[in-house]
Amino acid sequence: MNQLNLNYYGKYAVPETVRGLFEFEQELRAEDLSLDFNLGLIMTQEDIRYMSTPPDVIPFASCGVDGIHYGFLTDFGLAADLEQAYIVCVSPMNMDQEVWIVAANIHEFLRVVYTENSILYHYFPETSHYASYIINREVEDAQESVVRAKHKLQQRFALEPIADMLEYIEGLQQRRQAEVVYPTRYPIGIVQTSSEHKKHERLMIDAMKDGPDPEDVELFFKTATVESRLAFIRDAQSRHLLDRPLLRECVVKGMADMGLTDEALRLNRSYDYQETIIKLTNTQNTASIVWYTDADDPIE
């Protein structure tokens, strides 16, 4: 197959499962099938980033709708191996919840794709919400091409179907909650990062429309625990406060000082776009066209 251009993974090696999925796509196309049209999964060789994409998430695929994309959660570089890293969904158009965990690792992610992929499009804060969704949804007969593609996916990656999706979702949420030492607005939270035993602090952002002053953030980054600083980054991004260039510049500098070079670059990249606003003449809606770019240096 063609050489992959996946230089945006930073310090991490590209997981073999990702490479395998690109190869699998070629195998499907040889039989007039595809990950995209038959399984709703578009593999990407670009660093898909929106303003809601966390800086410690490395995207690997999208679904082609509403900017929804999937990525490895590195927990700000703590993940030792992306094959075992959590997989998150980023849904930029879902203003109620833009980021949530959908699988414990990429193999589990493929089990979700194979079994029942609703959680890859919808956020269910409670398992009861998922149960209600399943009961009320309209079920259509699967197309023959989809059945074939799923069968090939199962064989290629040795997938076992998830017997009870409700139980799977609940177990996934409980596992992550047990690891989190500092909750955030995005339900991914912050895990134990340092050996500090200081009390965690929260820099108030909700009471201020435009967020704290950069000077206050700079002081906070000098005195607060690592986990407190990382939580601030998550919450400031989720509140869209980092749209402010001066505040974002302050946060990026603080991240660089913490040794989070890759994450600082990714955060900037999330806002490094050109946006054209198109006024639709016959409606009250506004459409945004977003372009993102990434370097083309290939890797072996």
Confidence (pLDDT) at 298: 41
Confidence (pLDDT) at 283: 43
Side-chain-side CA neighbours of 170 within 13 Å: the count stands at 10
Please identify every stretch of the chain with a pLDDT value under 50, giving residue numbers as ranges.
274-300
pLDDT digits (tens, 9 = 90+) for 122-169: 999 888 898 898 888 877 667 899 999 999 999 999 999 999 999 999
- Tokens 């606003």 belong to 277
- The vertex-62 CA angle with 61 and 66, nearest 5°, equals 160
What are the DSSP E strand ranges found in 7-153? 42-43, 57-62, 69-73, 86-90, 99-103
Nearest to 116 by CA among 85, 98, 137, 99: 137
Give the pTM. 0.87
Axis crossing angle, helix 106-115 with helix 144-157, rounded to the nearest 10: 150
Task: Report whether 193 contacts 170 (CB < 8 A).
Answer: no
**Sheet strand arrangement including 42-43:** 42-43, 57-62, 69-73, 86-90, 99-103
